[in-house]
């Protein structure tokens, strides 16, 4: 049987692939989307606790500053083509009203991730994208006039390819990192891969005993290998394995990349350490009987004995008898409660992959490879990972959008 011949093959039917396919087809290209799973969009459905935090309210420089290192400059043209506001407008045009929530997150008003996926599938169908599910791509090679793609059901010939196979996090959703091998075969560099946005593991049983405790107003920080401090004012949840919640998950990629790191929690981000020390001294002077009563009201009861113990202060010590050094040690611990974290809970529980197809080998405007003309790379398979808060979908949708437009432009001008 002769291989089917098309303009564009999109490999992977997640956020990036679906958006790329819709855009390319709307510009008139014939598009086949090949998806390994029985359905497209497995990660859309499980995202945001089944509610899909599809983007953020951050725009412009603040949006770009949310991405580390070279990622910001790379994403600039994609976000110029599809900003968070424009993405929300796209979904509203397709019947999905969106709402803003805390931490600048945007969700569908219907509170169900399925409305996001249904809108994308309806848009793809209306445009005329041909979707092949249960169609795992096995190999890609350059061929006369484009690419030959071998998949579970045979072969397809495409003038251009958009690689949108995602990362290797949460492999039970079908993302087992296949795309990295395809990119390598075509000559691309894949940077080291680490789990990111994963809960943190701590061997220290003192912390695990606090399982269930949540800190809502705190800041979590870690140092990057180059000394840059990453700091997130976001909640923390103590679990029986360690630390979870947005703050710890946001620093997990760096913990992994450094092979373990010290993570620090600032329990009172609104007050400077010096002012805190003065406040504790004032409380002691005002006649709080015991040192336990010195701690500011927002500090949870369950955490108090651990903090005192870490500061080397016996519970029940009379506040007025607390030496200045001990009081300073307590202020310091309240501002920098340190955890030696050896690792995260790994790819199985990571929401994204840090690392991927090297950004300096891809044109940021067209997402086209600088090594293999006609080969475009979008979404999480790229060396892109953002923090929690809709940034990863925003990056996937925007790179998909820009690549879809670019392939159509290239085909028209050919
Ligand atoms: C539990 C969880 C919750 C999350 N919540 C959020 C959230 O609320 N907000 C947010 O911004 N981000 C969230 N993320 C991250 C987000 O899901 C990803 O950043 C996003 O899905 C990346 O989109 P993508 O299209 O690049 O890749 P994916 O969505 O991973 O899509 C890749 C697709 O390619 C297919 N594929 C893989 N290999 C092959 C192959 N060989 N042949 C054919 N098809 C293949 C896969 O089956 C998959 O459908 C969450 C992730 C997880 C795991």
State residue 283's pLDDT score: 87
Q: In the chain, what are the domain boundaries?
A: 4-194+349-413, 199-345
- What Å distances lie between residue 150 and 32, 34, 140, 143, 186, CA to CA? 13, 11, 6, 12, 14
pLDDT-based confidence at 289, cuts 50/70/90? confident
59: Cβ contacts below 8 Å, ≥ 6 apart: 83, 84, 85
> How far apart (Å, rounded) are the C-alpha atoms in residues 90 and 146?
31
C-alpha of residue 397 to centroid of ligand 1, in Å: 11
C-alpha of residue 298 to centroid of ligand 1, in Å: 38
Instruction: Kindly calculate the radius of gyration of the chain based on its CA atoms and give it in whole angstroms.
Output: 25
State residue 146's pLDDT score: 97
Looking at the DSSP assignment, which residues form a beta bridge with residue 4? 156
In the predicted structure, residue 411 carries a pLDDT above the cut 70: yes
pLDDT in tens, 319-374: 888 899 999 999 999 999 999 999 999 999 999 999 999 999 999 999 999 999 99
> How far apart (Å, rounded) are the C-alpha atoms in residues 396 and 8?
18
Rounded mean pLDDT, 88-110: 97
pLDDT in tens, 132-175: 999 999 999 999 999 999 998 899 999 999 999 999 999 999 99
Assigned token pair, 405: 């437009």
Indicate the CATH number for domain 4-194+349-413. 3.50.50.60
9: Cβ contacts below 8 Å, ≥ 6 apart: 31, 32, 33, 34, 147, 149, 156, 158, 160, 161, 162
> What crossing angle do the helices spanning 391-413 and 71-81 adopt, rounded to 10°?
70
DSSP string, 261-289: EEEEEES-TTS-HHHHHHHHHHHHHTT-S
Using DSSP bridges, classify how beta strands 352-354 and 343-344 pair: parallel, antiparallel or unpaired: unpaired
Assigned token pair, 265: 């929690």
Q: Give the residue among 325, 321, 327, 310 at the shortest CA–CA distance from 264.
A: 310
Closest ligand 1 atom to Cα of 49: 3
Please indicate whether residue 57, judged by its CB atom, sits closer than 6 Å to ligand 1: no
State residue 1's pLDDT score: 57
Looking at the DSSP assignment, which residues form a beta bridge with residue 376? 162, 368
State residue 394's pLDDT score: 98
Assigned token pair, 54: 């599809």
Residue bearing tokens 């983007």: 55
C-alpha of residue 70 to centroid of ligand 1, in Å: 22
Tell me which residue has its CA closest to atom 31 in ligand 1.
14
Pocket test for ligand 1, best of 82, 197, 392 (most atoms within 8 A of CB): 392
State residue 321's pLDDT score: 87
Q: Confirm if 383 and 191 have CB atoms less than 8 A apart.
A: yes
- What Å distances lie between residue 251 and 220, 244, 254, 260, 335, CA to CA? 8, 10, 6, 11, 17
Please indicate whether residue 403, judged by its CB atom, sits closer than 6 Å to ligand 1: no
pLDDT in tens, 4-20: 899 999 999 999 999 99
State residue 293's pLDDT score: 85
Angle formed at CA 99 by CA 96 and CA 104, multiple of 5 degrees? 130
Rounded mean pLDDT, 99-124: 97
Pocket test for ligand 1, best of 15, 20, 36, 43 (most atoms within 8 A of CB): 43
C-alpha of residue 111 to centroid of ligand 1, in Å: 19
Rounded mean pLDDT, 224-246: 96
Please indicate whether residue 47, judged by its CB atom, sits closer than 6 Å to ligand 1: yes
Sign of CA dihedral 128, 133, 135, 141: positive
Q: Confirm if 175 and 43 have CB atoms less than 8 A apart.
A: yes
In the predicted structure, residue 307 carries a pLDDT above the cut 80: yes
pLDDT in tens, 265-288: 999 999 999 999 999 999 888 878
The residue ranking higher by pLDDT, 89 or 290, is: 89
- Phi-psi sector, 379: left (phi>0), alpha (psi -120 to 50), beta: left
């Amino acid at each position: 049987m002769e291989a089917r011949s098309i303009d564009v093959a999109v490999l992977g039917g997640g956020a990036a692939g679906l958006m790329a396919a819709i855009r390319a087809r709307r510009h008139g290209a014939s598009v086949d989307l090949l998806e390994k799973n029985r359905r497209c969009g497995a990660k859309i459905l499980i995202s945001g606790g089944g509610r899909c935090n599809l983007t953020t309210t951050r725009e412009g420089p603040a949006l770009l500053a949310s991405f580390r290192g070279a990622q910001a400059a790379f994403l600039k043209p994609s976000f110029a083509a599809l900003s968070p506001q424009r993405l929300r407008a796209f979904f509203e045009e397709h019947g999905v009203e969106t709402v803003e929530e805390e931490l600048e997150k945007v969700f569908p008003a219907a509170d169900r991730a399925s409305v996001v996926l249904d809108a994308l599938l309806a848009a793809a169908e209306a445009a005329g994208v041909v979707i092949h599910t249960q169609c795992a791509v096995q190999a890609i090679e350059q061929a006369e006039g484009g690419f030959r793609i071998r998949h579970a059901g045979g072969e397809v010939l495409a003038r251009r390819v958009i690689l949108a196979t995602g990362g290797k996090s949460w492999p039970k959703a079908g993302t087992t990192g296949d795309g990295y091998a395809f990119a390598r075969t075509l000559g691309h560099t894949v940077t080291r891969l680490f789990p990111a946005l994963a809960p943190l593991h701590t061997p220290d049983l003192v912390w695990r005993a606090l399982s269930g405790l949540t800190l809502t107003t705190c800041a979590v920080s870690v140092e990057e290998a180059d000394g840059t401090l990453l700091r997130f004012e976001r909640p923390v949840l103590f679990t029986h394995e360690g630390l979870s919640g947005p703050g710890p998950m946001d620093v997990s990629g760096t913990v992994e990349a450094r092979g373990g790191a010290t993570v620090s929690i600032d329990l009172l981000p609104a007050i400077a350490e010096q002012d805190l020390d003065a406040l504790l001294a004032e409380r002691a002077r005002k006649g709080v009987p015991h040192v336990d009563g010195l701690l500011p009201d927002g500090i949870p009861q369950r955490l108090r004995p651990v903090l005192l113990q870490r500061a080397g202060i016996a519970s029940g010590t009379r506040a007025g008898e607390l030496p200045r050094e001990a009081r300073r040690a307590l202020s310091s611990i309240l501002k920098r409660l340190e955890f030696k974290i050896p690792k995260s809970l790994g790819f199985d529980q990571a929401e994204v992959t840090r690392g991927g197809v090297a950004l300096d080998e891809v044109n940021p405007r067209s997402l086209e490879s600088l090594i293999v003309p006609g080969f475009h790379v979008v979404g999480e398979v790229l060396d892109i990972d953002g923090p929690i808060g809709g940034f990863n979908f925003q990056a996937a949708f925007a790179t998909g959008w820009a690549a879809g437009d670019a392939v159509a432009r290239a085909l028209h001008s050919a």
